Chains A and B, each alone.
Chain A
Amino acid sequence: MEKRVTFGSWTIGILFAVPQLLLIFTFFYWPAGQAVYWSLTLQQPWGGGNIWVGLDNFRSILSNADYWNSITASLVFAGISTGLAMFVGLVLAALTDRQLTGSRFYRVVLIWPYGIAAPALAMAFRFILAPEAGFMAVVNQVWPGFWDPGLDGTDAMASIIIAFSWKYVGYNFIFFLAAFQAIPRSLIEAAAMDGSGVIRRFWDIQFPLITPTIFFLLVINITESFQDSFGIVDIMTSGGPANATNLMVYKIYSDGFKGLDYSGAAAQSIILMVLIVVLTIFQFRFIERRVHYR
């Protein structure tokens, strides 16, 4: 879509864009380029600049078992938490959309968790899921040793998944609800006239019409699970026990800033960037579909 009426002066036009361009050049394009450069070179320990090593950094990363462990952990985390948060969000939105008494109230309250900072909710869940105090302690009294995120990798993974999903249920809820409400009421009513029940209407009308939203949220949830998980991991598990929750962004942070391995961290960043770009491109293909639906 283009404007028919525009302003003539080129210089003023470009001047308006300059602040943004300067910012994204300095804080986006330059660092992204720098990451590529670092990933292909190795910094010499006693200074004297970087030497070109080609793809060696990638090779050493990809042959490192710790890195594959981190990728697996990230994928498990992304898969389960996305599935959980989207499923619960979808169910709650579908039920709220039935507009029974009180649905306004749920529409307001269910969004709250999304406003909370990841580290703050991580702290809350660290207490709630703590093995010695809080609520899992009750379970541990009944079955001793059942739950200990400090020692058991699976328990630790479960804790960060619960914390992350709790936040993103609200996010998915908003989008699903908006999608449901965009479906013309007359469609639903016509289907009801033809004798289809609530469940039938959901599967044959509402669900197909919100598939674009499902794809959109799928990509957003997965991308967010790569980024927004950092605060949760740092507060709840610090990547432990035994690297069980050492997700990709956390590993980049600890290798780059604690291990001071810039080249290795840069190579990991590049791999993560490629992953996210592929996901985003995938998303844009489906955004076209969504426009088509309307």
Chain B
Amino acid sequence: MVERTPFLNFFTHVILFVGFVLCIAPFAVVAIAASHNLKDVNDVPMSLLPGSDFWLNIKTAWTTADLGPKLLNSFIMAAGVAAGKVIISALTAFSIVYFRYPGRTFIFWLIFVTLMLPLEVRIVPTYAVVANVLSPYQAILDVTGLSWLIEKVSGVQVSLSLGLLNSYSGLILPLIATATGTFLYRQFFLTVPDELTEAARMDGAGALRFFVDILLPLSRNNMAALGTIMFLWAWNQYLWPLLITTDQSHATAVTELKQLIPNVGGIPEWNIAMAGTLIVMLPPLIVVVLMQRWFVRGLIATEK
């Protein structure tokens, strides 16, 4: 430090330590409550010494909420969203940065606008679209008179229908349809030196070759950052999976948590509820701890 400030240093340590305790306490309470039996967890005040029923509670929560398959679903959804984002955003950013076709600025703005409206605010119509993904195209055909034309010419009535409720694609695709990653890549591509492109072209590389062999390997850091952020974001989604998975087989772990809330007037099985909470919190927490560097970098770069 620049000067000696013993009083202020002491004050700094105290405040930071309090902040640390407030930050960690909920995790600790969840873990301790998950280790108590039914009587101890409802004691007032609850003992802060861990009880002995930890594994039993974990097992009960696991079977009550059927967490095995649900965690797998969460994982598939989160990995799907992360992979989809990483790939599709790279393609789009490449198109926006490295080509000059008419309407490029328009496409840029089309994508840019999607940053403004998160899924949560347009949830009802998005649900309707996912119930039949082809409905927009059907409507376009109807309005332009094309379906009438097709029916006249070939005698086939056009009715496009493909429902994505209760499917992984229904969970994943709408979550990919935003611009978050595209801008991360765009910023990075703009810093790649032009000389590199020139050299590649001189050696006879086409657009695709340059993209796959030069640009993608260079953007590994971006991919890791974006992938981490998107994985966490998708894992933590709640409203969307809650809506479109009416069938238990595609429910995710986060939506399943609600089943563990003790009923008013029922047995207050907070130990089981906390064990379930612990299981659901753990995977994202592990990702944050292991991938901290990428996580922070991704957060600051995407400025989500």
Contact = CB atoms under 8 A, between A and B. Distances in A.
B281 A116 contact: yes
B88 A166 contact: no
B292 A108 contact: yes
B288 interface: yes
Contacts of B122: 28, 31-32, 35, 269, 273
B12 A98 contact: yes
B263 to A, nearest CB: 12
A253 B95 CA distance: 37
B277 A123 contact: yes
A266 B125 contact: yes
B101 to A, nearest CB: 4
A132 interface: yes
Give the interface SS of chain A, mostly helix, strand, loop or mixed. helix
Interface stretch (A13-21, A50-58, A72-80): A13-21
B13 A19 contact: no
A14 B108 CA distance: 12
A127 B46 CA distance: 11
A13 B136 contact: no
A128 B16 contact: no
Contact of B300 (A9, A17, A175): A175
The size class of the interface chain A forms with chain B is 35 or more
Contacts of A158: none
Interface string B245-260: 0000000001101101
Nearest to B211: A16
Interface in B251-296: 254-255, 257-258, 260-261, 264, 268, 270, 273-274, 276-277, 280-281, 284-285, 287-289, 292, 295-296
Interface residues of B, number: 110
A113 interface: yes
A28 B3 contact: no
Contacts of A138: 44-45
A91 interface: yes
B294 to A, nearest CB: 12
Contacts of A95: 12, 15-16
Interface string A27-47: 111111011001000000000
B50 interface: no
Contacts of B104: 13
A252 B124 contact: yes
Given A3-B194, A120-B277, A273 B125 contact: no
Interface string A229-248: 01100110000000000000
Interface string B73-98: 00000000000000011011011111
Tell me which of B118, B125, B128, B208 has the highest count of chain A C-beta atoms within 10 A of its own C-beta: B125
Interface string A254-266: 0011000010011
B281 A117 contact: yes
Given A119-B258, A198-B8, A27 B15 contact: no
B220 to A, nearest CB: 19
Contact of A112 (B30, B95, B123, B289): B289
B26 A276 contact: no
A50 to B, nearest CB: 12
A100 interface: yes
B60 interface: no
Interface in A263-294: 265-266, 269, 272-273, 276-277, 280
Contacts of B99: 6-7, 9-10, 12-14, 16
28 contacts: A3-B98, A13-B207, A15-B95, A19-B91, A19-B92, A24-B114, A26-B129, A26-B136, A29-B110, A31-B126, A34-B129, A35-B125, A99-B1, A109-B20, A110-B20, A120-B277, A123-B277, A124-B27, A124-B30, A133-B41, A227-B118, A249-B123, A249-B239, A252-B123, A257-B124, A269-B125, A276-B117, A280-B115
Given A28-B114, A123-B273, 5 more contacts: A12-B99, A28-B178, A126-B261, A127-B270, A249-B239
